[in-house]
Every structure is written in C-alpha cells, then in structure tokens.
Structure 1
Amino acid sequence: MESILEQIERGKLWSIPGGVHPTPNKASSTQQPIKRLPLPESLTIPIKQHIGDNGKLLVKVGDFVLKGQALTEAAGHWSVPVHAPTSGTIAEIAMKPSTHPSALPEPSIVLTPDGEDTWCELAPWPDFYAKSDQEIIDRIQNAGISGMGGAGFPAYIKAQPKNEIEFLIINGVECEPYISADDMLMREHANELIKGIEVLRKLYQPTKILIGIEDDKPEAIEALTKACENDHYTQVCAVPTKYPSGGEKQLIQILTSKHVPQGGIPADIGMVVHNVGTIFAIYQAIFHGKPLIERVVTVTGDTITTPCNVWGLLGTPIKFLLEQNGFQPQQWQRVIMGGPMMGFTLPSVRLPIIKTSNCVLAPSAKEMPMPGEEKACIRCSACADACPASLLPQQLQWFAKSKEHDKLEEHNLFDCIECGACAYVCPSEIPLVQYYRVAKAEIRQEREDKVKAERAKERFEARNERLKREQEERQNRHKRAAKRTTDEAKSKVEEATKRVASNDKSAAVAAALARAKAKRNESGEPDNSEMAKLRAERKAQARAYKEEKPIASSRGDKKDAVAAAIARAKAKKAEQAETANDVTTDPRKAAVAAAIARAKAKKTGNDAESQNADTQAVDPAAPSKDDPRKAAVAAAIARAKAKKAAKEAEPQNDDTQAIDPAAPSEDDPRKAAVAAAIARAKAKKVAKEAESQSDDTQAVEPAAPSEDDPRKAAVAAAIARAKAKKAAKEAESQNDDTQAVEPAAPSEDDPRKAAVAAAIARAKAKKAAKEAESQTLNTQEDESSVHKINGDIEGQTEPKDAINNDSPAPLEAEARKKAAIAAAIAKAKAKKAKQDKGSE
C-alpha cells in the first residue's frame, strides 16, 4: 500500500465536503502587470495591523523618517513593528478609524511624504545559510511580516513550531472571486518565491514542500513549475477550482487527506501553511533587508475603468487607489474590502491599506445587487450541503439568534471559517455569516470576562490569605507579648512572696499588688483577695493592740471636753448678743458687728484648743501620756464648733448688706415697694437672730451641770433643747402675724405692687422659720454626738430613766428665761419693722 507521500508525489488529490462554484471574474484584473502608483499626499499607518499586541512607539510628531525606518518596536505577546512606507515627516499621532466594518478608532501615525522616497540603511543577507535559525526568525519579526492571506497571524510565530514539520504548504490557491493579487505575484516573481521558500526550508527541515494553485491559473502554475524544476523537494499541485479550497484546513485536506483536529492548528499534525504574499515578504527581508511596507492589491469592479493589480504602500488611502484606476462611482455605490464572499463593505473610502488588504472591489449595482429582505428559513438544507466544515448552519443560526452560547459551542461554531458559502446558496437570503460573527464575538467576550473573573477571584483569595496570615502574625505577637508579661508578673509575684515570708509589710503589699495585676492581665478582672487578707491581718493586729492597752479612767479627759464646749458656747453667745444689740440701731453697724463676731468666734475656738493643749501638758492626770488619741478627739470637736460659729455669722452679714440700701422717698411708689422689701428682710433677720439665740442657749446648757455629775448635765441639755424649740416656734408664729399685717404697708399709689411685696415677705419669713428649725435640729445632733463622745470617754452607760429622775431646777429656769427673752426680742423687731413700713 502506498504511503501518503508516495500518493502525493504521484499527484493524487483528495476532496473536501461542500463548497460552491461562484463566477471567478478574475480575467479583467490580470490583463496588465502589477503597476506602481505615485506617492499620495499623506499616509495613515495603523500601529496594529496583525493579530497580537500593539508595538511601542519610537517616533513623535515632527520627526523626519526615512523609507523603511521602524516607527514602532515589538512589545508584548505576538507583536511585530510597522515601518515608514516612504520618507517624510510625522504629522500626527492620533486615534484614526480602522479598516474594519466597525471603523472603530485605533492608534495611528500620519506621515507626510517628502517626495524623495529615500531609503534607510538596509542590511541584506545574500548567504542566509550562514545565519542561525534564531537570527532569521528575529529578522522576520523585525521586518514586521504577518500573514498576508487575510488572518494577519505573525509569521515569526509560525517559523518556530513546537512539533516536527513534515509538509510545508504554500497557499497559492486564491479561490475568492475577483481577487488576482497572488496570481500576478506568482507569474511575475516565481524565482523570488522559490528563494523565500528556501529560507523556510532551512527553518523547518520539512520532508516535502507543496505549492497549491487552482487549475484556473495556468500561467502561475507554469511559472512556479519552471522555477522549481530542479528542486525535488518542492512540488506544484494543481487544485480543482472550487470555493473555498483556499482555506487552510481545506487545502491541507485536499493535498494530504489529513484533518486538523478541532480547536487545533496545522502544526499539531506536522504541517505549516504560508501564503505566497508572506513568502515574498520573507524573501525581501532576508535577501534585501527590506521590511514589509507594501503589498500587491487588486483594484477591480465594474465602476473601475482600468482594473488591475498595484503595489500599494501600507497606509495609502483607498480613495487614492480608486482614483488612480479610473473610479466612476454610481448612486448608492459600495466599496468592498476583500472579495464578494468573505469581504466587508467599507464605511468610508478614506480608510488606509493595511497588511491584510488584498483587494478593493467597487462593483456596480447590476454586477452585485443589494441583498433582499431576510425571509424565513424553508429548511431546504442547501446551507448544510455547501458547508466545507460539515456544520449545521441553520441550527447554528437559531442558536445565535436566541443567544444560546452553550449550544453553539456544542455544535462547533468555531469550526466555521466564515467562507460565506451557506449564505451564498440560501434562497431566503439569510445573512448567516453575520449571525455567526456576532455570536463568536459575544462568546469571546464571555470567555475574557470569565478569565478576568477567575483572575480577580485568585487575587481576592490571595489577598484573603495574606490578610489571614497577617492577622495570625499579629495575634501571635500579642500572645508572645502577653506571655512575656505573664512571666514577668509571675516572677514579681514570686519575689513579693519571698518578701512577705520575711515579715516585711511593704513587701506584702507589693506582693498583693503584683498578684492582683497578674490576675488582671490573665482574666481582665481585678482580684482583691490578697488585699482582703492584708486588711484582715491589720484589723487583727489593731484588736490585739487595743486589748493589750489599758483603759484610761482619768477624769481629766472629761474636764478637757467640758472646758472646750464651754469655750465654744461663750464665743457663740457673745457673737449673738453683740449682733442683736447692734442690728436694732443701724444695719451697717450690724454688718461690722457680724464680722467682729466671726473673728471672735475663730479666736475663741483657737483659745479653747490652746487651753486644751495646755491642760494636757500641765495636768499630771491628763491622758496625754496614757491616751493621746482622746485629747486629739476633743481638739477636733472644738475646731468643728468654732468653724460652725463662723459660718452662722456669714449669713447675718449678707442680710445686713441686703438691708443697707437707702430709704425711699415718699414721692415714689416704686421706692415704697423697695422699702417694703427691706422691711421683710429685717423681719427675716430678726427671726434668724431668735433662732441663733436659741442655739446659743442649747450650746451653753450642756456645760452647766456640775463636774461631779455628768448625767445631770445631759438632762439639762435635753431640757434646754426642748425650750429652744418652743421659743423658735413662738418666734415663727409672731413672724406670720407680722407678715399678715405687712401687706397694707405699701403706699397707696400702687396697691398691686404692695400686694406682691407682701406675698414675697410671707414666703421669705416662712423660709426663715424652716431654716431656723433645721439649725435647731443640727444643734441637737451635735449635742448628742458630744454626749456620746463623753460617754465613750467615761466608759459608762446607764438607762435613760435613771438620768431623767435628776433634773436640776436652776438650769431649767434659766433656759426658760432665755427663751422668753429671745421671743420678746423677735416680737419687738417685727413690730418695729411694721411701724417703719407704715411711716414710709
């Protein structure tokens, strides 16, 4: 059985499924050789004219460049540079419409030719065999060569396949109607093409080189057969004319009977396919050092006067090409980039020629009528019969319209080569290829979004992991610090415990504090158990000390306390007497008297304290040596009483200052109201004086009993307090009477103001009575505390019934007398105030 190679050498060809036979319409553009055109006024060179990333700009606006000079350099994945098609100045670098059905703007360089067409320095390699494969590949990349058959795949990527190459296939089929650029290139430059093939032979080391040409191009077949007649590795194969036999996968199947796997590339089965235009560009780059700056373009159609093939500089406006070939536009004129099967209508004729532009078709309306309105599918299956990829175009169209992308992929949408054979045979004029293109774009976008989402997810997860690690590190640092703190606290506790063991009180306290801090660090809550233990120890020591100390039974302590109380009572009585005498005559003198009384009270308190200290120092029976704490208690009581007397004198001074304003004249009713207020203040002061006198009586009486019987003194004090309380109540009732009379005092000019003043006076008098009562109660509490202290000092406690049986009559009579005097004084003051208001 013959091998595939033997069958190929014998000239056997295989067939492909589907396909159509449209009218070629190639003869009109092959009647004259490829011609050159003059330079256009400007060239617009897109930075990206291939599949892959944009190059990096090397020029700026205003730079002068030479022909063939690199304008960009390769940067990124699958990137090749672009070069200056002629010498001139960079006029602009901006976003310009792209040569695409959408005409979306893309970065472009606008070059203004200088007309000289001066080349830059070139570096040809006539003996390329002396160069390494990598050097050749770099030269192909730096020359900016990409696939010129329509895909725009960078040639240097194909020049370094991963697998061993068995067949190198040169695609010269050019099955698209109207296009004859490759045909004319093979006719005129067959020898150059063979030299370019030799460069690829050095790189691939293939077993066989196959040149596929359709059998409707006899001149091209003859020229190439003659050029390689002495080359046994190269074979020219005449392929039957059928569209789309020029497709990469279809041509491999026709020449070798092999199928490219779904989703794979020809290199996966040991094959590489290059277009004849790409081979010619490689020849120029290696043997002449020229970059890719021009290509052969077919300009044809019924509206073109002289259809032909031209060398079009990259960046030449399409309008310029049409005008140079006698373009005569018609109404609703269309211009198509590419052939009628796979080309697209240009949105503008000002778009430039790029590396993949092989034809500019300007048909008339009769030659290529506009497609009719899309109709419903009649399920004729003509599209499925014409599909060269054995797909189901009708089913794919339904899925594309309903955007069922998963089912589109299940039905192998991406195996479609967009040849347009299905749309060509559709009787309903359904633009099937357009549906497929839109669906492919949507699926690609979904894939890109999915990839971006996966990358974002990976970044998010990586970030979370990083944050988690950082948090764990922080927690570990805190744990280590807490452990160090705990260890230090434990060491301090141990040291403090040692100090406690040595009977050092300060060390015991420090140890307790240290243990409390340690427990707080561990649990966050204070632990006072240690301090409680220390307090219990101190209390036990105090009790032991108290039990060991003998009880002092000397009467010197009682004498000292009695002497201090007598001194305080005399001081307070002297102050109240002076104040009472002075206030009746002049309120200003009363203020002075109050200040003097406060000073005397303070002095009396100091004298009492000094006397107490002297008594303790002189009296041999004093408890200074035996019990100094009792003497300190007595001195503290004396100081407290002296301060209280001084504070009681201050309100009197304030009242005196309130009374001080000058008396109002009889002519002004407002002054009469002021006078009424002053009168009410005087009444209030009289009530306070009566209460203070009652307090003095209560303070003096506890000291009256004889020194021989302290219990009688307590009885007398109780009686005095009762009398004082009764006198205070009588004074309060008199004040109420005075307040009842006072409302008539205001002048006759304004009775309403007088009524208001009287109401205010009553409220003030009632408040003064309440304050007097509270002061009486405070005095009683102070006296009870004094008696309690005296009882503690004596260390004796007896029933109250035994005390009440002995009540001295002289002290009781004296108390009643003083209470009557205080009440009389209060009544006189109130009466005088009332008279003053009436006279005013």
Structure 2
Amino acid sequence: MESVIERIKKQKFFNFAGGIHPPEQKFLTTDKPIKTIALAKELILPIKQHIGKTGEMLVQVGQHVLKGQALTSSDNPMCVPVHAPTSGTITAIKPSIMAHPSGMSDLCIFIEPDGLDKWIKRHIVEDFKSLSKSDIVEKIAAAGISGMGGAGFPTNIKVNAQPGIKFLVINAAECEPYITSDDLLMRERSAAIIKGLEILNYLLEPEHILIGIEDNKPQAIKALKAATIDIENIHVCVLPTKYPTGGEKQLIQALTGQEVPSGVLPLSLGVIVQNVATVFAIAEAIIDDKPLLRRVVTVTGQALKKPQNLWVPLGTPIAHLLEQCGFSPLEPKNNKAQQRIIMGGPLMGFTLPSLNVPVVKTTNCILAPTVEEISPATKELECIRCGQCAEVCPSSLLPQELQWHAKAKEYEQLEKLNLFDCIDCGACAYVCPSQIPLVQYYRVAKAEIRQNKVQEAQAEKAKIRFEARNVRLEKEKIAREVKHKKAMAARKAATSPEQAKSNNSAVAAALARVKAKKAAQATQTDVPEVEVADVKTRAAQAIARAKAKKAAATTVTSSDQTTEDTKPAEQASNSADEKKARTAAAVAKAKAKKAAAAKATATEQSDAKTAESKPSEQASNSADEKKARTAAAVAKAKAKKAAAAKATATEQSGAKAAESKPSEQASNSADEKKARTAAAVAKAKAKKAAAAKATATEKSGAKAAESKPSEQASNSADEKKARTAAAVAKAKEKKAAATKVTATEQSDAKTATSKPTESVPSSADEKKARTAAAVAKAKAKKAAATKVTKAKKSTPKTKESTPLKQGSNSAEEKQAHTDAAVKALKSSVQEELDFTIDNQSDANIEQQTTVSAAELKKQKVAAAVAKAKAKKAAASEKSDTQAKKESVSDTDKKAKIASAIAKAKSARAEKNKESE
C-alpha cells in the first residue's frame, strides 16, 4: 500500500463525501494586483475579533496612539490583543455593530487617524532562529494573530503544540466562489509565506508540510513550487477544484486520507492546519515585528465598478471599501428587495445589517452582487424530501432532519445528530429546490445550544455552591448539637455532690482573689474611691492641724514637758475609777489591735506611705516646726478638755461609729461631724486663750524639758521626780486657766458649730486624718522613748550637752515663735485652700514624730490600729463608765491631758537630742 507522501508525489489524493461545483466567479478580481487604499476618516476596532476571551482595555478616550500600539492586553492564552492600525486619537470607546450574522453590538474603540501613520519602535529580527521557541510563541501572541481563514482561533495555541506532529497542513485551497485574496497573496508574497513556513517548521518540527491548493490557481501554484524547490519536507499538493475542499476536516481527508472523528481535534491525529494568510502574518510578526494590522480583502461583485483585492487596515468601515471600489447602491425596482452586501463568500457569508460594520481579522471578502447575480431571499417552500442536501453534505449529516429539529427547538436531538459537525458551508442550501435557508436554521440552533450550555454551567456552579453550603450548615448544626450535649453533660456533672464541693472551693478561691485585688488597689491608692474635692479637704485638715500646733507651740512647751515628767506620779495617784478606765482602755487597745488588723490595713498602709513620702525632710525641720508639732498636741488635748462638757455624748457616738466601721468614716452622721467640728474649734480657741498666760510657764517648762534628758541619763529616780513635777505644774496651770477660758471656749464651740466652714473642714477624711495623727503621736512617743533611752546610755555626753543648747534659747526667740503661732492661727482659714502647702506641712509634722522612715511607718500603723481597736473595744464599756467619767473632777481631766502632752513633749525632746 502506498504511503501518503508517495501518493502526494504522484498527485494522487483522497476524496471526501459530498461537495458541489458552483460557478467560481473569480475572474472579477483574479487578474488585478493588490492595491492599498486611503485611510478612512474613522476606524472602528472591536476589542474581540477571535474565538476566546476579551482582553483588558489599555487605553482611554482622548489618548493619542501610535501605529502598532496595543490597545488591549493578552494576559490569557485564549486572548489576543488588538492594535492600532495607524497613529491617531481615540475618540470613543463604546458599543457598535460588529461583523456577525445576528447584527449584535460589542465594545469597540474608535480612532481618528492623524495622517502621519507613525509607528511605534520596532525590533527587526534577521535570523528568527536566534530566538527561542517560547519567545516566538510569545511574539505571535503579542502580535494578535488568530486564524484568518476560518473562525479566528488564537494561533499561539496551535503553534505551542508538543513535538510529534506528522503533518503541518497549509490551507491555500480558497474554494469558495468570488474570493481570490489568498490567491493574490501567494502570487505576490510567496517569499514571505515560505519564511513563515520555516518559522512554523522550527517551532513544530513536523515530519512533512503539505500545502493544499486547488488547481484553479495556476500562478500561485507556480510561485509556491519555485519558492519551495530547495526544501525537502514541503510539498505543494494541487487538489481538484471542489467545494468545500477548503474545510479543515475535508482538506485533511483529501491530503492524508484520515477522517477526523466527531468532537475530536485534528491535533489528536498529529495534524495541524494553518491558513496561508496566517502564515504570512506570522512571518511579518517575527521578522519585521509587525502586529496584525491589515489583511487582503477581496471586494467583488457585479454591483461594483472596480472590483479588486485591497490591503485594508483593520477597523475600516465596509462603506469606505465599497466607496473605493465604485459602489453605487441601486434603488429597488418593481417592489423588488434592495441588493445585499455580503461579508464572506456567497455560500458561507452573511448579509451585513449595516455598512458601518468594520473589517476584522477574519474578513476575507466583501461581496456586492446585483439582484440578477444573487437573487434576494425568497419565501421558503415546504421540503419535498428530495434528499439532495444529504448528498452534497461534506460532513455526511442529515440536513433535512436537522432542520426539522431546529425548527422545533429540540436541541438535545440536534446534538445527537452531530449538529456541531456542520461547517456551515451552505452546500445544502445551495442545492435545495425549496429555497430553504438550511444554514441559517443551523446557525440559530447552534447559538441557542451554546447559550443553554453557558446557563447550565452557571446553574451547575450555583448548585454546587448551594450543596456545599447545605453540607456546611449541616456540619455546623451537628457541631452545635454536640457542643450543647457536652455543655449539658458538664452542667449535670457540676450539680453532683462531689463537683459541688470542688465548685464551692473554686468559688471561694475566686472570691479570695477578687478581695485580694481590691485590697491591693486600696493599698496602691492613698484614698480609694475618693473624689478630688475630698483629697483637698483632707489636705486642708492636715494644714489646719499643723498651723494650730505651730501656733500653740511656744505657749505650752515648758508646761507640757513638766507635765510629762510628773505623769508617772499622777498616774499612780489616780482614783480607782480612773485606774479602772485606764486599765480597760489598755485592754481594749490590745484587743482592738488583733480584731481590726484586717480592716485597718488600707488605712495603715496609706498613713505609712504618707509618713515615708518625705523622710529626707525630717532632718531639715527647724526648731520652730518641732515646737509647732508640740503645740499642736497640746492644743488638741486642751480642745478635748474644753469641749468635753458639751460634746461628750456626741464624741462617744462618733467614736463608736469610727471604731465599728473605719472604712465608712466618709459617711459619718451629722452629729458626729458637729462634734468633730466643735472639738476642732475648741482646740483653736484654747490655743489662742492660753497663749498670753502660758508664756512664762512655757519658758520654765522648756527649761525643765531641756534638763530632763541629763537627769534621765544620770539617775532614773530623778527623772521620774522631774516628770512628776512637770505634770503637777501643768495640771495646776491648766486648772487656773480653765475657769477663765470656759465661757470663751463654749461660745467659740457654738460659733464653730454654726459656721463649720470657717475652721477645719468636718469631712470624713478630716476625721480619719485627725484620728490617725493623734494615735501616731502617742505611739511615736512611746516607741521613741525606748530608743532614746538606749541612745542616752551609749552617748551620755551628747545628751548632757543637749540641754545646755536648748537652754540657751533666748526669751526673745520664744516670744517670736509665739507671735508667729498667733499669726498663723489667724490665717489658718485662708491657708486651708493651699493644697501644696497642706501636703508638705502635714507630711513634715507626721514625719517628725519618728526617728527614721521605717520607724515612722511602724509607729503610725500601730498608732492607727491601736486607736481604732481601743475605740471599738471600749465602746461597750464607755456606756457603763460614762457616769463615772462625768463625775471626774476638772483636775483629773487636766491631769490626763497634761500627761498626754508631757508624753509628746518628752518624746520631742528626746528626738532633738538624738538628732543633735
């Protein structure tokens, strides 16, 4: 059996089914060379001129473009770009009628040529073999080349095939009547076509290249044979003239004898088919770097004066072509339809809906026949079942049956009958005696089927998404149910006795942590949950106390010290009731320390912080500040004595409230506030009243206090006697002054009650601060006494010399201190508003009561706790002993007050000695 190549060499070819021999009518243009026409005034470029996807727009309205500039992108293999056929300006981007049988519109780019025809920069390639295969494929894609003889399939897809190609078939048959564009191209550009074949041979490496051409093109056959005489694997195959030899499947069968099965691409048989015009475009793109900007178009028909082949820039309107060829539309006569303008040949072409349709990449012919040449469409008749359509069908289909199902829109049956194997050659319609436009039925049916498939694909995607969503929702529902079951099981387990116990312990631990956090927060802040106004009030109270102490310092210095010395003797001689009260107070104080330890932590720590805030200022306090502190203590004691008669009941109730609820001092009742206010006013008035008469006593008391340390160091018995004498002297002085100051104190107390804002503020913060200060003083004295005693034994000389220095203070200096105290007392109301001075003065006074920062902290904490505990423990006993306390004489009360003051003065003196 002869091989394919042997048969080709002998010019023996295979036959395909069907086919017709219509009049060729090629003589109208076959003897005229290809001409170039003038540019149209406006070019219309559809952005999609091929099968595949549309590229992204790269230009915008008003932009100037150059010849060969890409107008769309080619980022997808099934997308080829569109280029500017000439230089000009983009005037619009809008939908316009495109080259399609339906007359549909698509997005188009309108370009107004500038007449310069200016190119973009190009890169000429002398030797295409210097480029890699991938580079060549990319250049073909970037040039926008698609099939120029059929449906417009992107060429870069075909030429990117894998090795193993047996036959590369070049379709040069051009079998349809009237069309001669490929014939003239092969005659005039045979060298460029052969160059394109060499490029394809380099890319695909086929075994043989077969050029299929009909025998009605002798000049083209001669030119191709002459150009390929030296190339062994290129064969020019001259086929007999028969329509439609130019069909892809029919040409493959005629050359190789292989029939392409339905639904199978020729590539599966090792065959690739390219149109001859496409090969020429490849040569220009690779060698001359020219994208697909123009093509040869046959403009023919007897309605034209000058039918010919033209080089037409893509986007040129059909009206401009017809004008160049002398077309004059004829008016219909005798109610006959107007002549048609057909794009394509008379068999496969379609009538244009408008002459503004532009030339695209697949446009090879514009036919303008007369009415006599091609009669207008007439009314179709009933099919007579002659069977001629089936005889001439090159695809071996049943055109009559296809037409029945197409009219009935039975698309599934059409697919079973292989409707898509129809190549729309029009042979069936050409031979139909009933003038049935069979091809038109097939085209409409194909479009409907494609549209249905697109909708089905979309529906299938939506179905898949819907099903996936249902699955997801079901999984989420199951997960929720499992979660709820686990939660229910956990709740049941939590209600069991064993779990309840563990839960209780866990809850208790959590509560303990919460309380610890709250306590820590209260510790970190000086006054938790207190407003700025309350803070200022406390500072003002501290200043008031400091000023009062400073004012009374010079008045009671000597008497306080002497009274402190005599305190042990008088304590021994107190009445039985007084001793019981003191014993009860001591016991209550000890019990209160233990009972209130947890509740007073925040207050203790805040007081300690206040005392520690400025330890460096203790060493720098002047003698005046120390005396002021002593005077403040004395004033506090005197104020208590003066207000004892009228505020006893109020003070006791206030003390009970403070002892039972130290954290609720901010919410004290109105009675407690009035009592506190009265005590503060009495204190200030007592200071002022005793200032004049106590000057001499203060001086003598100071001397006695100064001499006290030396006596303590030499003999403890002498020290006790001195303390007793001082206490007695102070008691006598207080008793002498009590009768004269009583009326004044009472009136002052009333005035203070009516005008509490003129003295020390009566807020809860003030009361807390006053209580802490008093307790801290007493505790500080007691703690300092012990250390001072030890220091005296180790350094007797220093302690002995200290009284000399203290005794050297002149009377004038003390008098100056007294005057300063009186002046400070008068301006106390204004100074209460000064927040900064208040903090500093209060801090200095509190810090001076301790020997060091650590001792001050311990002493103040102990003092605050002790006082709170004592008040709470003695609350129940005070009700029983109230009558006894009321019956105590003024002398006893003065003795108590004097002993407390003496204790403070002694501690101050001892601190002074230690510092010196």
Superposition TM-score, scaled by structure 2 size = 0.53
Distance between the aligned counterparts of 2:420 and 2:47, measured in 1? 28
In the TM superposition, residue 448 of structure 1 has moved relative to its aligned partner by 1.9
The equivalent of 1:334 in structure 2 is 340
Distance between the aligned counterparts of 2:501 and 2:17, measured in 1? 99
The equivalent of 2:586 in structure 1 is none
TM-aligned CA distance change 1:370 to 1:497, over 3 Å = closer
SS of the residue aligned with 1:372? coil
Mapping for residues 47-62 of structure 1, pairs under 5 Å: 47-62=47-62
Mapping for residues 395-544 of structure 1, pairs under 5 Å: 395-490=401-496, 495=501
Mapping for residues 223-242 of structure 1, pairs under 5 Å: 223-242=223-242
Q: Is the 8 A contact 1:383 1:422 kept in 2?
A: yes
Distance between the aligned counterparts of 1:96 and 1:150, measured in 2? 23
Distance between the aligned counterparts of 1:314 and 1:497, measured in 2? 86
- The answer as to 2:197 corresponding to 1:191 is no
TM-aligned CA distance change 1:93 to 1:193, over 3 Å = same
Mapping for residues 280-679 of structure 1, pairs under 5 Å: 280-331=280-331, 332-490=338-496, 495=501
Q: Is the 8 A contact 2:35 2:310 kept in 1?
A: yes
Mapping for residues 249-288 of structure 1, pairs under 5 Å: 249-288=249-288
TM-aligned CA distance change 1:491 to 1:285, over 3 Å = farther
In the TM superposition, residue 162 of structure 1 has moved relative to its aligned partner by 4.9
- The answer as to 2:204 corresponding to 1:204 is yes
TM-aligned CA distance change 1:232 to 1:76, over 3 Å = closer
Deviations 1:250-276 (A, max 9, x none): 000000100111101110100000001
The equivalent of 1:557 in structure 2 is none
The equivalent of 1:613 in structure 2 is none
Distance between the aligned counterparts of 1:497 and 1:106, measured in 2? 75
State the one-letter code of the partner of 1:249: K
Distance between the aligned counterparts of 2:369 and 2:445, measured in 1? 29
Mapping for residues 5-16 of structure 1, pairs under 5 Å: 5-16=5-16
Q: Is the 8 A contact 1:150 1:357 kept in 2?
A: no
In the TM superposition, residue 492 of structure 1 has moved relative to its aligned partner by 5.4
Distance between the aligned counterparts of 1:457 and 1:62, measured in 2? 45
In the TM superposition, residue 3 of structure 1 has moved relative to its aligned partner by 2.3
SS of the residue aligned with 2:299? strand
Q: Is the 8 A contact 1:126 1:286 kept in 2?
A: no
Which runs of 5 or more residues in structure 1 are unaligned?
500-840
- The answer as to 2:136 corresponding to 1:130 is no
In the TM superposition, residue 300 of structure 1 has moved relative to its aligned partner by 0.7
In the TM superposition, residue 480 of structure 1 has moved relative to its aligned partner by 3.2
Distance between the aligned counterparts of 1:6 and 1:325, measured in 2? 46
Distance between the aligned counterparts of 1:492 and 1:72, measured in 2? 77
Deviations 1:500-537 (A, max 9, x none): xxxxxxxxxxxxxxxxxxxxxxxxxxxxxxxxxxxxxx
The equivalent of 1:27 in structure 2 is 27
Q: Is the 8 A contact 2:397 2:417 kept in 1?
A: yes
SS of the residue aligned with 2:140? helix
Q: Is the 8 A contact 2:98 2:357 kept in 1?
A: yes
The equivalent of 1:157 in structure 2 is 157
Identity among equivalent positions (%) equals: 53
TM-aligned CA distance change 1:312 to 1:4, over 3 Å = same
Distance between the aligned counterparts of 1:114 and 1:491, measured in 2? 96
Distance between the aligned counterparts of 1:491 and 1:334, measured in 2? 99
TM-aligned CA distance change 1:84 to 1:493, over 3 Å = closer
Q: Is the 8 A contact 1:143 1:290 kept in 2?
A: yes
TM-aligned CA distance change 1:161 to 1:493, over 3 Å = closer
Q: Is the 8 A contact 1:54 1:75 kept in 2?
A: no
In the TM superposition, residue 28 of structure 1 has moved relative to its aligned partner by 1.4
SS of the residue aligned with 2:496? helix
TM-aligned CA distance change 1:36 to 1:493, over 3 Å = closer
Mapping for residues 758-769 of structure 1, pairs under 5 Å: none
Distance between the aligned counterparts of 1:480 and 1:406, measured in 2? 54
State the one-letter code of the partner of 2:49: Q
In the TM superposition, residue 378 of structure 1 has moved relative to its aligned partner by 1.3
TM-aligned CA distance change 1:497 to 1:184, over 3 Å = closer
Distance between the aligned counterparts of 2:197 and 2:503, measured in 1? 98
State the one-letter code of the partner of 1:125: V
Deviations 1:91-138 (A, max 9, x none): 111111111122211111100111000000112222221222111111
SS of the residue aligned with 1:419? coil
In the TM superposition, residue 385 of structure 1 has moved relative to its aligned partner by 0.9
The equivalent of 1:797 in structure 2 is none
Distance between the aligned counterparts of 1:456 and 1:127, measured in 2? 52
Q: Is the 8 A contact 1:164 1:270 kept in 2?
A: yes
Distance between the aligned counterparts of 1:3 and 1:496, measured in 2? 95
Q: Is the 8 A contact 1:37 1:312 kept in 2?
A: yes
Q: Is the 8 A contact 1:83 1:291 kept in 2?
A: yes
In the TM superposition, residue 160 of structure 1 has moved relative to its aligned partner by 1.6
Q: Higher relative contact order by CA 8 Å / sep ≥ 6: 1 or 2?
A: 2
The equivalent of 1:74 in structure 2 is 74
Deviations 1:41-100 (A, max 9, x none): 110110000001100011111111100000010144610000000001111111111111
In the TM superposition, residue 16 of structure 1 has moved relative to its aligned partner by 1.1
Q: Is the 8 A contact 1:124 1:285 kept in 2?
A: no
TM-aligned CA distance change 1:496 to 1:210, over 3 Å = closer
Distance between the aligned counterparts of 2:210 and 2:504, measured in 1? 102
Q: Is the 8 A contact 2:494 2:500 kept in 1?
A: no
Distance between the aligned counterparts of 2:353 and 2:498, measured in 1? 89
Q: Is the 8 A contact 1:90 1:112 kept in 2?
A: yes
Superposition TM-score, scaled by structure 1 size = 0.58
In the TM superposition, residue 387 of structure 1 has moved relative to its aligned partner by 0.7
The equivalent of 1:644 in structure 2 is none
Distance between the aligned counterparts of 2:489 and 2:280, measured in 1? 79
State the one-letter code of the partner of 1:342: M
State the one-letter code of the partner of 2:324: Q
Distance between the aligned counterparts of 2:27 and 2:497, measured in 1? 106
SS of the residue aligned with 1:44? strand
Mapping for residues 738-757 of structure 1, pairs under 5 Å: none
Deviations 1:777-833 (A, max 9, x none): xxxxxxxxxxxxxxxxxxxxxxxxxxxxxxxxxxxxxxxxxxxxxxxxxxxxxxxxx
Mapping for residues 97-108 of structure 1, pairs under 5 Å: 97-108=97-108
Distance between the aligned counterparts of 2:63 and 2:237, measured in 1? 49
Q: Is the 8 A contact 2:19 2:427 kept in 1?
A: yes
State the one-letter code of the partner of 1:72: T
TM-aligned CA distance change 1:93 to 1:497, over 3 Å = closer
Distance between the aligned counterparts of 2:133 and 2:21, measured in 1? 42
TM-aligned CA distance change 1:10 to 1:140, over 3 Å = same
